[in-house]
Structure 1
Amino acid sequence: MAQTAGFSLFGNTDRHHADGKSSKFNLKTLLDFSTLQPRVQNHLKNVYTCLLGATLCATLGVFLSLNDWLNYPRLAVFASMATSIWLFSIDFNARTQMKCFGLMSATALFTGIYLSPLINLAINVDPQIIMTAFLLTTVIFVCFSLSALLTKNRTYLYLGGLLGTGTSFMLLLSLMNLFGRSQLIFNINLYLGLALACGYILYDTQLIVERANNGDMNYV
């Protein structure tokens, strides 16, 4: 009896693998966003298009600064702060959406300008650092965004408090390291910042979806 049951069990397993349905990778399943409402899907397209535009503007800012056309990084810091405050003071609607997009693009451009000294330093050390960082950042962003979008329950929204606490802790460590100059604190801040950045991708993605479900279509 035991042998018969054993053969029956393995026989079912073989047939199960022979079908190839459970073990076969299906890309359509990975990209299935049917759980999201059509208006939410359209909103996400606007959000990621806006993000792509901001990335291109920041890249343009770096290019202009490195070629000494707009090489004013200190001035760009204050300019980005001014455009950010102006952007947050505007109510997003159909009449102001182009103005908001323009301010966001300007903020990204100024951000690229004041980050150009850091980019230039990385290029002088090893030009491959820039491309490696870009590719790894893209992979991390895509993977964590898909994880947040494909999760039916909005459980990542509970990360908000933990992420806020971690950010405050990082700020405290940074202030301490202004006086201590500790390599250990620097490394803790570095890897903690990486972990928090991944957490914010999960949290912000689900927050965008939840706000869109509640009628907030501000994609800027």
Structure 2
Amino acid sequence: MDAFSSFFDSQSGSRTRWSHESLKNFRQISPAVQSHLQRVYLTLGCALVASAAGAYLHILWNIGGFLTTLATIGCITWLMATPPYEEKKRASILLGAALLEGASIGPLISLAIDFDPSVLVSAFVGTAVAFCCFSGAALLARRREFLYLGGLLSSGVSMLLWLHFASSLFGGSTALFKFELYFGLLVFVGYMVVDTQEIIEMAHMGDMDYVKHALTLFTDFIAVFVRILIIMLKNSAEKNERERKKKRRD
């Protein structure tokens, strides 16, 4: 937690030193890596569009579920096993995985649409803003400045897995569910920063696999989006319940 505090403190402390010119200062990133990042973010955008299409297909035909989740894992495994020089094939596999991932979270999106469509829009906008802010902070920060967070975040993911395993065996409480939700959101927001800087460093060392890098950021985006959407749905449902109880008393 101290590491996350230091991240926010460093950003707030440097805020006064930022100017219009400093926001465009990418001298630490070579032109080749800048070009690579453009391809990564373009591929990420295409993957998000494919994911939205998958969610729409679920709404039409109710195809999302456990099987699409398994198919998503299979596509990601296939992508990682495909040689990097087969770019078109790997990009197609990524779009297929994104489509299936969108169908997998389709039931949650369908629930949000039935409950309140504005919640879905707010969750997506909130995720997009968070991604732009944290990924942008990683681009503008000194190289390797936040890579040390990787070990802490890996420990956080391990903790989440063990908590989920324990709750599935012994039963979970509302407090534990809330902890998993908010702590998981904090972890994957941190991964947005770490993965962005890691992609930059790997590109500087010659790893220009933009499909794999786009997959990494896509995974972070979806993980944050799902958690924000669940939090907003839960808060909205609790608010509606309080209002109904108030009306009954009145």
Both structures adopt the same fold (TM-score exceeding 0.5)? yes
1: distance between equivalents of 2:203 and 2:136?
17
CA contact (8 A) 2:64 2:107 kept: no
* Residue of structure 1 equivalent to 2:153: 163
- C-alpha root-mean-square deviation of aligned residues, in Å? 1.6
Equivalent residue for 2:93, pick from 103, 114, 122: 103
Cross-structure match for 2:25: 32
TM-score (norm 1): 0.84
In the aligned structure 2, how far is the partner of 1:28 from the partner of 1:121?
44
CA drift at 1:28: 3.4
**What is the aligned counterpart of 1:190 among 172, 181, 191?**
181
For structure 2, which runs of at least 5 residues remain unmatched after alignment? 1-15, 212-250
Contact 2:79 2:94 in 1 (8 A): yes
Contiguous gaps of at least 5 residues in structure 1: 1-22
Farther-moved stretch of structure 1 (70-79 vs 42-51): 70-79
Aligned counterparts of 2:198 and 2:143: Cα–Cα separation in 1: 12
Q: After TM superposition, which residue ranges in structure 1, 4 or more long, deviate above 4 angstroms?
A: none
Q: Percent identity?
A: 37
Say which SS state the counterpart of residue 79 (structure 2) adopts: helix
Task: Please report how far the alpha carbon of residue 77 of structure 1 lies from its aligned counterpart in structure 2 after TM superposition.
Answer: 1.8
Change (3 A) 1:206 1:114: same
Deviations 1:107-140 (A, max 9, x none): 0001111111111111122111110000110111
Aligned residue in 2 for 1:44: 37
2:141 corresponds in structure 1 to: 151
Letter in 2 for 1:36: I
Instruction: Provide the secondary structure at the position in 2 that maps to 1:67.
Output: helix
AA matched with 2:71:
A
Give the count of matched residue pairs. 195
Match of 1:82 among 74, 82, 100: 74
* Match for residue 128 of structure 1 among 115, 118, 138: 118
Q: How much has 1:27 moved relative to structure 2? A: 2.9
Instruction: Determine if the alignment matches structure 1 residue 58 to structure 2 residue 51.
Output: yes
Which AA in structure 1 matches 2:157?
Answer: T
CA deviations 1:174-194 (Å, max 9, x no partner) are 112222321111111111111
**Shift in alpha-carbon separation, 1:32–1:156, aligned structure 2, 3 A:** same
> 1:72 Cα shift?
4.5
CA separation in 1, counterparts of 2:155 and 2:119? 31
| Counterparts in 2 of 1:135 and 1:72: CA distance versus 1, 3 Å | closer
Give distance in 2, aligned partners of 1:125 and 1:71.
20
TM-score relative to the length of structure 2 = 0.74
